[in-house]
Structure 1
Amino acid sequence: MTRFRLLAPTLLLSLFALHAPLAHAWGGQGHRLVARIADTELTPQVKQQIATLLAGEPDPTLAGIASWADELREHDPDLGKKSSRWHYVNLGEHDCAYDPPADCPDGNCVIEALKQQTALLADRSQPLDVRRQALKFVVHFVGDIHQPMHAGYAHDKGGNDFQLQFNGKGTNLHSLWDSGMLYDRHLSDDAYLAQLLKLPATPAAKPVLPPDAVAWAQASCRVAIAPGVYPTKDGKEEHVLPEGYVAQYRPVAEAALRQAGDRLAAILNAALGTP
């Protein structure tokens, strides 16, 4: 989502019913932060490669293109429609196990899309415009796959249909995780980045390519389905956010942002570094 908006629950429900396949992960700030974390860890050679790929973009930085894939439905409706299912994978109903034919038919989920776009980015025989588009998708999808609700339940569209009251306003669980808890800190990108860089770094797995997208999605799913993430009271769904929820789960979301940024850097350094 481009900005966290507090809307009436009934309006939110209708909006997400219309646009559920295009549900976003992290708000604009979250995606920018993932990109900016990665940018602090890139090699000089890779930074030059990225500058070449992004030459001519309105904002030729990783942060500047981080939300591009969420904006396609306005700028390129055909590609937006084609890629709408590439932002998420629903693993919650079967305890986070991944069954590609059932969960990702024809490769249309964030797991396979991230692998495919990373391969295109790393393939120097591909045309510049293909690799530029792949870079935009990779930056975005690494963020998406680390947002727990984007690997959670299908039955409520990744928390979009789980209505909540947060700070006296109507929202839903997906929006709370992708932007609500982050924007509630009222930090600038610079200030938030400084906070996230204080968190422990994520060691890169070897080999980095292809990315271990299945394991990343499964880890996100386990967060989404963990007891307490969906608020309950006396065994029933609680739609007024309990006191202490944000204090408990915002650090989880922030750790995911740091992890996403570190892993994005590892992917880019491997895909764009010395062949």
Structure 2
Amino acid sequence: MRFLLAAALAAVALTVASPAPAYWEYGHQTIARIAMANVSPRTARAVRRILADQALLATPACPAGTPADAAVWADCVKPLKDAAGESRFGFAYSWHFQDVNICRPFDLVPACKDGNCVSAQIERDVALLRAPGTSRHDRVQALAFLLHFVGDLHQPLHAGEKDDQGGNKIAAAYGIYAPSRFNLHSIWDGPLAERAITSGPSLVRRYPAAERRRIATGTVTDWSREAWQVSHDVVYASALGGDPCAPSPARVTLDEATIARLVPVARLEVERGGLRLAKLLDAALG
């Protein structure tokens, strides 16, 4: 049922002009739940205390009172408008991704001009949460953004792309589902992520300390480069017959054999996102 719902949502998403968000609700919520299962008790209490101020966000249609809800808040508020009909959160549109071309040397500088990219905002949110002078409103907003943006960074097409809106311009068949339903981006957001999360043992668990350290090692820049490399080596290579920098066709097909090979990669990205989010939360609040 979850997959059928996701497929229906994808069909709707493709009818609107804006690119699809990174990970649908299930992916973002799973990453938040992995994180909360692996933070310290002190961090967990701090997260709950901060989210108790969700009313300060003034977004009743987009709740953020739990980590799972807050993890999808940044996507939920995108269409909200003020009394004058202007976007309330349009300033944050570019914070969900970073356009780093996979066929050129890795370079965050042009992609993150003026801090307008996902990795820069992750670091900003951690700094806001650590600063004792941050207002209660800014603190709850920073936490909601952080819970979401770490998931965004680990959707590879939000870290590396080919001037194609992160694969949104490439129609893609997913197994038996025709390209009219999906594009390359939405496949990695939804059905592939959901299949990966539900394949094998639950990802939502307390991980051994050594495994947490191994997966969560590095910096936000290191994780950006890694996700960018996954986009090059796996996402585009699998869609374009092995050469990720070959000209992109208007549509591609991910058959069942390809999907089976992609599932462990997508599963690992969700796992990485959850454990790295836990590390950042502990650093900011623990």
Distance 1:186 1:99, change over 3 A: closer
Deviates more, 1:87-96 or 1:136-145: 87-96
1:243–1:153 distance in 2 versus 1, CA, 3 Å: same
Distance in 1 (CA, whole Å) between partners of 2:215 and 2:130 is 18
Map of 1:138 onto structure 2: 146
Match of 1:5 in 2: 7
Report deviation, 1:232.
Answer: 2.7
State the shift of 1:242 in Å: 2.6
Quote how far apart the aligned CAs of 1:95 are. Answer: 3.5
User: Which sits farther off after the overlay, 227-236 or 57-66?
Assistant: 227-236
Q: Distance in 2 between matches of 1:272 and 1:186?
A: 27
Give the TM-score, by structure 1 length.
0.82
Alignment of 1:229 onto 2:238: yes
- What's the offset of the Cα at 1:67? 0.4
For 2:224, give the aligned amino acid: A
* SS of corresponding position for 2:172: strand
| Aligned twin of 1:256 | 269
- Counterpart Cα distance in 1 of 2:263 and 2:119: 24
Tell which deviates more after alignment, 134-143 or 173-182. 173-182
**Match for residue 266 of structure 1 among 270, 276, 279:** 279
1:1-275 map, 5 Å: 4-6=6-8, 15=16, 18-20=17-19, 23-57=20-54, 58=63, 60-75=65-80, 78-95=87-104, 97-100=106-109, 102-166=110-174, 167-169=176-178, 170-184=181-195, 187=198, 194-195=202-203, 197=205, 201-203=211-213, 212-226=219-233, 228-232=237-241, 237=249, 239-273=252-286
RMSD, aligned α-carbons: 3.1
Aligned residues: 259
TM-superposed CA distance for 1:129, in Å, is 1.2
Q: Distance in 2 between matches of 1:183 and 1:34?
A: 12
- Check the 8 A contact 1:36/1:193 in 2, yes or no: no
- In 2, the alpha carbon distance for the partners of 1:65 and 1:55 equals 11
Sort the Cα spacing of 1:69 and 1:8 in 2 relative to 1 into closer, same or farther, 3 A.
closer
Distance in 2 between residues matched to 1:199 and 1:51, nearest whole Å = 21
Q: CA deviation digits over 1:179-210, x for unaligned, max 9?
A: 111334795xxx9872464988342689x8xx
The SS at the match of 1:239 is strand
